[in-house]
Amino acid sequence: MPRQLDLALIAANRFGLGAGPGELDDIAHDPREWVLSQLQTPPLADKALAALPSSEQYQQQIIEWRQQRKKANRESRKPAQRQTFSQRFNADFVKEINLRAAQQCATTTPVTERLVMFWSNHFTISDEKQPLKLLAGAMEREAIRPRVCGNFTDMLLAVEQHPAMLIYLDNQQSTGPDSKVAMKRARQKQATSKTSINENLAREIMELHTLSSEGGYSQADVIALAEGITGWRPWLAARKAQPLGPYGSRFAPAFHQPGERQFLGRRFAQKGAAQGEAMLRHIAMDPHTARFISFKLCRQFVSDKPPPDLVDTLADTFRKHDGDLMPVYRALFESDLAWQPDQRKFRRPDEYLIALHRALAIDLNPKQPGRWRQEMHLMGQNVFRPGSPAGWPDSADNWIGADAIWKRFFVASRYSGRLPSSRDAMELARDSLGPRLGNRTSVAISEARNRRQATALVLASPEFQWR
């Protein structure tokens, strides 16, 4: 049984989101089956999360708010009567954060929920632009969740055509120099109107979403892809254009750079939006993409320096199955290389806070709606605001430090009074840490001054920081 408990701990913590009361004993009966069986259940949003407005609804609300602001300005109303974006939408933003966190903490399929977190970070969105405070969460709900157990190409197209991604990486600012809009501006000599290709989205698609920086592409390939996706715009920028994808984006032909493209050694002569879509389908199946995605999956689920043989296996599976993700996940979770006890990952702040709630078997406190966001900020991971388009770092050296550990102890202390009276701190330690509970931590718990201090010592212990 000790060996099975070791595997159960790996299943619950490394592949899942943390063990709850009595869960390790249940998982120990068949740890691999516990993991693999969850792949049969797509990680769809629960009822409350799914009931939030769609991207199209949010975009319509933003347009109405802007119109109301303009009307207030025209009528010279007092500033107090002009509702700011935060005043109008902050409650919606906080609600999205809390319902998302509630699902992560309470899910009965934590393996697939972690996959949602992985893909959301892979296709990261930052909310520093106002509309993205609403659209970032909507993109995760709409474009990522339903496709986590599907095909990578389908997810890639859904994400890159989503209004959130188009706004985040400035594709609405991209105008073909030979497009109808550019020609019109030239005739009218509109020197103040910017008419140029914006490479941001194309570059990040290639560097961060598919091929990687080592993918063998050139600057000419970046420009070709950028030209191929000109005219892809959010509804906020092109309401009367042709529908692009199911989430409210539009294809505006007047902004599209006409002509065929040479991209990664192939010719793309499609017209309109179909050209960019064909280019994305091609890049999704490139061997460099297969390897990059496989490496990131192994780094997320196994260790900061994953076994090369495991990465090779996943990349081969990705190519063999044309980007279908279920066989790739199975290859990962069925491999003995993924279950080695000496492999481990340091929990990011979101992973830590989720594991803490699951260990205590508690829900988010509805009387403190801003608490999750505040505690994530305290620990250095602002919700929906990573430091760059590369997303949150996935290696221990980015999160370990004296200040970071002190802040986790502070958070642990805040929650130490929420251990149910029916459990004690040592039981909490055994339930969440299993055979990883070390002698020093065990002694510290037993010598604690009181129950709350003992609970805080469990949640702040070195063992609890790793998965």
Output the DSSP codes for 104-144. HHH-S-HHHHHHHHHHHHHT---TTSTTHHHHHHHHIIIII
Q: What is the mean pLDDT of residues 28-37?
A: 98
User: Could you give the CA distance from residue 426 to residue 260 in angstroms, rounded to a whole number?
Assistant: 67
Domain assignment of residue 137, yes or no: no
* Cα 382 to chain centroid, rounded: 13
CA distances from 218 to 169, 203, 240, 407 (A): 20, 10, 35, 44
Asked if pLDDT for residue 329 goes beyond 90, the answer is yes
Cβ contacts of 72 within 8 Å, gap of 6 or more: 81, 82
Predicted local distance difference test score (pLDDT) of residue 190:
63
**What pLDDT score does 78 carry?**
64
- Is residue 278 pLDDT above 60, yes or no? yes
Span 99-114, average pLDDT: 98
Task: Summarize pLDDT for 75-87 with one digit per residue, the tens.
Answer: 766 665 678 999 9
Give the tens place of pLDDT for each residue, 394-435. 999 999 999 999 999 999 999 999 999 999 999 999 999 999
Domain identity same for 359 and 313: no
| pLDDT level of residue 210 (50, 70, 90 thresholds) | very high
Q: Are residues 351 and 461 in the same domain?
A: yes
Question: Which of 218, 250, 285 lies at the terminal end of a domain, its last residue?
Answer: 285
**Same domain membership, residue 355 and residue 304:** no
Phi, psi angles (nearest 5°) of residue 43:
-80, 60
Look at residue 278 and tell me if it is in a domain.
yes
- Please tell me the chain's helix, strand, coil percentages from 3-state DSSP, rounded to the nearest 5: 60, 5, 35
* Structural domain ending residue among the three candidates 285, 304, 324: 285
**Mean pLDDT score, 260-265:** 97
Q: Which tokens go with 24? A: 């390790």
15 has a pLDDT exceeding 80: yes
> Where among 248, 266, 285 does a domain terminate?
285
SS3 251: strand
Handedness of CA 255, 256, 258, 263 (dihedral sign): positive
Phi-psi region of 12 (alpha: psi -120 to 50; beta: other; left: phi over 0): alpha
DSSP 163-192: HHHHHHTTGGG---TTSHHHHHHHHHT-TT
Specify whether 354 is located in the same domain as 278.
no
Mean pLDDT within 137-146: 98
Sequential DSSP letters for 380-401: T--TT--SSTT-S--SGGGT-S
* Both tokens assigned to 213: 């920086």
Region for residue 122 given its phi and psi (left: phi exceeds 0; alpha: psi -120 to 50; beta: otherwise): alpha
On average, the pLDDT of the chain sits at 95
Asked, for residue 424, whether it belongs to a domain, the answer is yes
Total Cβ atoms within 10 A of residue 266:
10
> 231 with 314, same domain?
no
Tell me how many domains the chain contains. Answer: 3
Domain assignment of residue 400, yes or no: yes
User: Which of 19-33, 124-138, 227-241 is predicted with the least confidence, judged by mean pLDDT?
Assistant: 227-241
Tell me which residue range forms the domain holding 194. Answer: 168-285
Is the same domain home to 434 and 458? yes
Residues 212 and 308 in one domain: no
**Percent above pLDDT 70 for the chain:** 97
pLDDT level of residue 74 (50, 70, 90 thresholds) = confident
b/e map of 347-372 (b: 16 or more CB within 10 Å)?
A: bbbbbbbbbbbbbbbeebeeeeeeeb
- 405 with 333, same domain: the answer is no
Q: Can you read off the two tokens belonging to residue 284?
A: 């999704």
| 124 found inside a domain | no
Q: Tell me which residue of 235, 228, 319 sits closest to 274, measured CA to CA.
A: 228
Question: Do residue 294 and residue 248 come from a single domain?
Answer: no
With respect to residue 411, please indicate whether it lies within any of the assigned structural domains.
Answer: yes
Give per-residue pLDDT as tens, 149-169: 999 999 999 999 999 999 999
Taken as a whole, the chain contains a residue count of 467
Quote the pLDDT of residue 413: 97
- pLDDT, position 186: 85
Residues 321 and 237 in one domain: no
Same domain flag for 357 and 271: no
- 206 and 175 both lie in a single domain: yes
**Mean pLDDT, rounded, for 210-220:** 96
Residues 116 and 303: their CA atoms lie apart, in Å, by: 19
Residue whose token pair is 């254009």: 241
Residue 3 confidence (pLDDT)? 86
Residue type, 7: L
Residues of the chain above pLDDT 90, percent:
90
In a domain, 422, yes or no: yes
Tell whether the model's pLDDT for residue 191 goes beyond 80.
no
